[in-house]
Amino acid sequence: MPWWWRASPWVVKTRAKSTYVERQESGTGLSIRHPWKRVVAAMLLLGLNSLVHLVNPVAMSRAPVSIPVYGTAFNFLCRPTLLDDTLGTVTIRVSLAVLTIVLGGIFSRAVVFPLLRRYLSMFSSGHAELGRVESIKMSGGLVASSHRTVHAFANGGRPYTIQVYIGSTSQGSWTVMLCLMPLILSVVATIFNLFVPATLHVTSVLPVRYVDLYPAVRAYVLIWNGLVLFCTWDVMLQDHIRCDTVFDNWMFTFRWHVWRHQWVRISCFWLVVATLVAYAAVGLPPVHAALTQRFLDHVSTDLYFNESWRAVFSGAVVMLDVVILMQDWDFPTAASPSHVFIPGFASNVLSIRTHRFQLAFTCKWIVATLIMVMMPLDVWTFVQQLNYTPTEYGQLVVASTLQVVSMTNTTALDALACGPLCYRHPLPVDADVVATLGRFFSWPIEDKFPAVCLVAYVVFLCIRMVVNEDSRFVVSSQMQGVKQAMYRRQLDSATLPPHAVLDLVRLADIKRYYWLRRHSDDICVGLSLFGLVMMLLQLRCIWQVQVMFATETYPSNMVSTPGQTYALLIFISTLLLVFELVRRFRLTVDILKLRQKLAPTTTMWRHPRIRAQVAVELIVNMAIVPPFVTGMFVVNEYQMRASTCPPPLVREGADRCYLVLQYPYETLGMIMFLRLYWLVRLVRNHSGFYGQRVDFIGSLNNVSTDSPLWHFRAIFYHHPVFAFLTCTILTWVATAVGVSVMERPLPSPLDSEVTAMWMVIVTMATVGYGDFVPRTMAGRVITVVGGIVGGVIVISMLTSLFMGSLQTTRGEDKVLHVVRYKRWQRRRLDASVNLIAAAWKLFKLRRRSSSKCPLDATAHRRLYECMQHVRELRLGVVTEGEDTVGLVRQWHRESIEPILAQTNAQRNKTVDELEHKVR
Name the pTM for this structure: 0.78
- Most confident listed range (277-291, 598-612, 799-813): 277-291
- Asked whether 612 and 585 are in contact (CB, 8 A), the reply is no
Please name the residues in contact with 734: beta carbons below 8 A apart, sequence gap of 6 or more. 673, 676, 786
DSSP 33-93: -SHHHHHHHHHHHHHHHHHHHHH-GGGG--SEEE-TTHHHHHHHHHPPPPTT--HHHHHHH
Confidence of residue 852 (pLDDT cuts 50, 70, 90): low
Q: Is 129 left (phi over 0), alpha (psi -120 to 50) or beta?
A: beta
Question: Per residue in 417-430, is it b (16+ CB within 10 Å) or e — as a string?
Answer: eeeebebeeebeee
Helix (H) or strand (E) run with residue 664 in it: strand 656-664
Confidence of residue 130 (pLDDT cuts 50, 70, 90): very low
pLDDT at 578 over 90: yes
Mean per-residue pLDDT over the chain, rounded: 80
Q: Which of 728, 849, 713 is nearest to 790 (CA)?
A: 728
Percent of the chain residues past pLDDT 90, beyond the cut:
19
Provide the 8-state DSSP code for 674. G
Q: Which of 682, 512, 583 is nearest to 24 (CA)?
A: 512
Provide the 8-state DSSP code for 892. I
Q: What is the pLDDT of residues 664-716, one digit of tens each?
A: 899 999 999 999 888 888 877 777 777 777 777 777 777 777 777 777 777 77
- Asked whether 418 and 385 are in contact (CB, 8 A), the reply is no
What is the pLDDT at residue 872? Answer: 85
- Asked whether 76 and 189 are in contact (CB, 8 A), the reply is yes
- Asked whether 126 and 19 are in contact (CB, 8 A), the reply is yes
Please name the residues in contact with 558: beta carbons below 8 A apart, sequence gap of 6 or more. 564, 628, 629, 630
pLDDT at 237 over 50: yes
Q: What is the pLDDT of residues 132-173, one digit of tens each?
A: 444 444 444 444 456 667 666 666 566 777 777 766 555 667
Q: For 126-130, 669-673, 817-821, 836-840, which range has the lowest pLDDT when averaged over its residues?
A: 126-130
What is the pLDDT at residue 472? Answer: 41
Helix (H) or strand (E) run with residue 371 in it: helix 366-386
What is the pLDDT at residue 569? Answer: 93
d(CA 68, CA 111): 25
Residue 100, φ and ψ in degrees, nearest 5: -65, -40
d(CA 635, CA 630): 17
pLDDT at 22 over 90: no
Residue 634 pairs in a beta bridge with 662
Query: 187 or 338: whose pLDDT is higher?
Result: 187
Query: Where in 166-316 does DSSP place strands (E)?
Result: 205-209
Q: What is the pLDDT of residues 722-762, one digit of tens each?
A: 777 888 888 888 888 888 988 888 888 888 888 888 888 88
Q: Which of 315, 442, 441, 437 is nearest to 57 (CA)?
A: 437
